Amino acid sequence: MKMNANRLNQTAKKFLQKIRLHYLAYRDIRRFTRYAAFSVFDDSYDQLCARIMYNVHAIEKGLSRGKNMRVGFGRKALANLNDALVVYSGKGYSRETYTYIQGRSIVHRYIDAHGKDAGLDLGTLDVVDQSFHVGRDTFDAAGTKTIYAKDKLNNSSKGFYALSQGRSSVREFSGERVDIEKISNVLRNAGKTPSVCNRQGWHVYVVTDKEKMQETLRLQRGFKGYPTLPECVLVIAVTNSAFLSPVERNEAFVDGGLFAMSVIYGLECESLAAVPLNAMMNAADERDVRALINVHDSEQIIMFVAVGAFKDETIVPISDRKPLSDYMTYIA
């Protein structure tokens, strides 16, 4: 059959594209290395805000364990939060920002949750500067809230904005069986997600085997200590075989992220509880996950999603959101 491409020319093109890819990847690494918050002494406003919020959320997750909360948990997170707040204050950044209020508030929520009768020697808080113990009336954000299964029953009839604003990540499930057809409906709808030039490179592994699910979550390392396994774990991947040029080197994460968000909103619409879990694993854990569920080497694992049925009542992190003014720049 007629071929327009010349193999020799294509081989030369591929070689040049590999050189170009290395150059672009180097630029990626250089930018990331320059601006990522590797240390608490990386003290730009955005770097410190990221470090504060990381530790606020870690403490919120601990507080959301309710009756299963481990007394005195989170010493490392409290210490890291304190140091970020100290550096933030030393830089003279505003104390009226969303992030600073979150950081100061979570210390008070931590003390409140333990109470006088919890058996906690508040010496646990010796890693937190005494100045951060005061101001309860001013710093009243962050913490936990309770969501109710009955409020999710009519999710499919809600408008998109109401549905998305009502969604919370849930890590504790009832243990009731989930209709697999609902999962199929979610993934079928997510197939409408936009992708670069409509290449649709995604692949979803629906893990329902309990042993494989437990091992997958152990390797992912973000679901430790929860008493009830989800009914399934979705492993979302995108194949790099869908991309044609070095400039598309990060497109798997873009297309996969969009697809994963469609899945998460779809699960909420189906009144299913879910939590997205990151795929930022070390090399050994990623290798073992790939072997466990047979993920092809061409595929980039994007995200795990644990799915189950809602409990009647579930305590979850509030996970407050930044005001629009913090992340919108209007270019007239």
pLDDT tens, position by position, 215-232: 999 999 999 888 889 999
pLDDT at residue 158 tops 70: yes
pLDDT at 250: 97
Measured CA angle at 205 (ends 160, 190), to 5 deg = 25
pLDDT at 119: 53
Could you give the 3-state DSSP secondary structure of residue 99? helix
Distance CA 150, CA 279 (A): 32
pLDDT at residue 161 tops 90: yes
Residue 276 pLDDT level (bands cut at 50, 70, 90):
very high
Higher-scoring residue by pLDDT: 120, 69: 69
Average pLDDT of the residues of the chain: 95
Distance CA 191, CA 208 (A): 21
Phi, psi (degrees; rounded to nearest 5) at 100 = -65, -40
pLDDT at 120: 57
Domain chopping of the chain, boundaries: 12-142, 147-315
pLDDT at 256: 98
Could you give the 3-state DSSP secondary structure of residue 84? helix
pLDDT at 28: 97
Residue 39 pLDDT level (bands cut at 50, 70, 90):
very high
Beta pairing, strands 202-207 & 273-278: unpaired
pLDDT at residue 131 tops 60: yes
pLDDT at residue 259 tops 80: yes
Output the CA torsion 127→132→133→137 (10° steps): -150
| Nearest Cα residue to 264 out of 159, 148, 170 | 170
- H helices of the chain, where? 7-35, 45-63, 75-90, 98-114, 160-165, 180-190, 210-220, 251-269, 283-293
Question: CB of 147 within 8 A of CB of 271?
Answer: no
pLDDT at residue 20 tops 90: yes
pLDDT at 273: 98
Average pLDDT (86-111) is 96
* Close Cβ partners of 69 (under 8 Å, ≥ 6 residues apart): 62, 63, 113
pLDDT at residue 162 tops 70: yes
Neighbours of 161 (CB within 10 A): 8
CATH topology (fold) of 147-315: NADH Oxidase (3.40.109)
The DSSP secondary structure of 278-302, one letter per residue, reads: E----HHHHHHHHHHHT--TTEEEE
Say how many CA atoms lie within 13 Å of 10 toward its Cβ: 6
Beta pairing, strands 313-317 & 144-148: antiparallel
pLDDT at residue 66 tops 90: no
pLDDT at 95: 96
Beta pairing, strands 273-278 & 232-239: unpaired
* Percent of the chain surpassing pLDDT 70: 97
Q: What does the pLDDT look like over 48-58, one tens digit per residue? A: 999 999 999 99
pLDDT at residue 29 tops 60: yes
* Percent of the chain surpassing pLDDT 90: 88
pLDDT at 71: 80
Higher-scoring residue by pLDDT: 71, 211: 211
